[in-house]
Structure 1
């Protein structure tokens, strides 16, 4: 098991790629801090079931990524737990589709607030914990939209492009401390985000890939596992596209 005796924190674990990441990491022996925005009985039961299934510890964490005070409280819990984080997966994010001329200031700010500012500030806290132990892997979930300039995704793409740039700088700054930073840029993936797109747009996206299909959440999760594990110990500052050969 790739993550036996290691501890990982994953944000945005309620569904989609985040939920898949919890299962993939648990199946590989990791103890997990599983973040969600709000506490629900359903989420607690789901995490407990996965912990029992794979015989690992899964500790739910609840806070809104844009609530800096709540974020600090979560970090205090990690400190109180004397947590030694081996990897952090910044998965939580939102999407917005609208043409450039139709995107409001509020929509733009929301994209940047959740997808970039919140991740940036949270990562600062997480890196401080990693630096105490001179090791760690930071994995940021970006998007091909951050590199490709897709129509209708100017705000979303800008937020993910900023995340990619941040990843490269963090890797350059923290390599000497034994901390790696990489990003994953998923292409079209079978998550709730597809529901925000018209079916003809989704089908066109499928046909624009070499594999003629959307990716699965587990395929993104397995890539995150690779980047978090020692299998990628000499990889840092990279953005790994997981896009089925998107053209």
Structure 2
């Protein structure tokens, strides 16, 4: 059984990490995939690595016109849109610059707004579609050194719920995922002391893998979650439950 057979999925931040893992699983489940990434060459290379119908496109999610171009690259109208693109500019409030704050808010929150509203405009005409937004556990509890990131990720939850209410009667579902500590190149680069502290907070006593986020994205993208909208699914190993 292929849960996304014949459907078209667009994924931002799709050249690596969680975004690429989602793309790989979607392709395996029968989807045609468009990968958007600020690094167009990396997006194209990632698309070539997928064993299926995929294309990579340069996309700056803070620009509405770039998101329009990303959607236009799809071989058919979008059925699934995953807002995954993100950056970090961690610093304490005392040392964080305005630019550090603005960049993170723009990429995460404005980028998710751009993707949600533009995908929803297409989906509502067909009375179906699923939008999956990547928030973070940081948006639930707040993390030291991440006033920008925590604010953006909390904002994505509010955006998701508001959009879900607006789009429900059009047949479009909007849900969010809040990952906890996931093993990626970025998290593995953190100091050992910081890693150990985070691990101590996880009842399951391990970090999550990118595939474990991808499987939840697949659930929300597919008809398995057909009566779910406006929900926020925590994928955290029980951390801060």
Using structure 1 for the length normalisation, give the TM-score.
0.91
Alignment equivalent of 2:229, drawn from 220, 228, 236: 236
Q: Indicate how the Cα distance of structure 1 residues 73 and 50 shifts in structure 2: closer, same or farther if over 3 A, else same.
A: closer
Query: CA–CA distance in 2 between the matches of 1:117 and 1:196?
Result: 27
Any idea what SS the aligned residue of 2:144 has? coil
User: Which residue pairs with 1:39 in the alignment?
Assistant: 40
1:151 Cα deviation (Å)?
1.6
Any idea what SS the aligned residue of 1:100 has? coil
How many positions carry a matched residue from both structures? 239
Query: CA–CA distance in 2 between the matches of 1:193 and 1:67?
Result: 25
1:43 Cα deviation (Å)?
4.5
User: Which residue pairs with 1:29 in the alignment?
Assistant: 30
Using structure 2 for the length normalisation, give the TM-score.
0.93
Query: CA–CA distance in 2 between the matches of 1:201 and 1:65?
Result: 30
Query: CA–CA distance in 2 between the matches of 1:8 and 1:17?
Result: 15
Any idea what SS the aligned residue of 2:174 has? strand
RMSD over equivalenced CA pairs, Å: 1.6
Q: Indicate how the Cα distance of structure 1 residues 240 and 221 shifts in structure 2: closer, same or farther if over 3 A, else same.
A: same
User: Which residue pairs with 1:150 in the alignment?
Assistant: 143
Structure 2: runs of 5 or more not aligned: none
Any idea what SS the aligned residue of 1:185 has? strand
1:83-135 deviation digits (Å, cap 9, x = unpaired): 22211110111123222222221111111010001220222111111011000
User: Which residue pairs with 2:87 in the alignment?
Assistant: 94
Query: CA–CA distance in 1 between the matches of 2:235 and 2:29?
Result: 21
Query: CA–CA distance in 1 between the matches of 2:43 and 2:109?
Result: 25
Query: CA–CA distance in 1 between the matches of 2:135 and 2:205?
Result: 22
1:230 Cα deviation (Å)?
0.3
1:227 Cα deviation (Å)?
0.4
1:76 Cα deviation (Å)?
4.0
Alignment equivalent of 1:72, drawn from 68, 71, 83: 68
Query: CA–CA distance in 1 between the matches of 2:173 and 2:43?
Result: 30
The 8 Å contact of residues 16 and 46 in structure 2, kept in 1 or not, is answered as no
Higher relative contact order (CA 8 A, sep 6+): 1
The 8 Å contact of residues 133 and 175 in structure 2, kept in 1 or not, is answered as yes
The 8 Å contact of residues 94 and 114 in structure 1, kept in 2 or not, is answered as yes
User: Which residue pairs with 1:9 in the alignment?
Assistant: 10
Query: CA–CA distance in 1 between the matches of 2:68 and 2:221?
Result: 24
Query: CA–CA distance in 1 between the matches of 2:199 and 2:7?
Result: 36
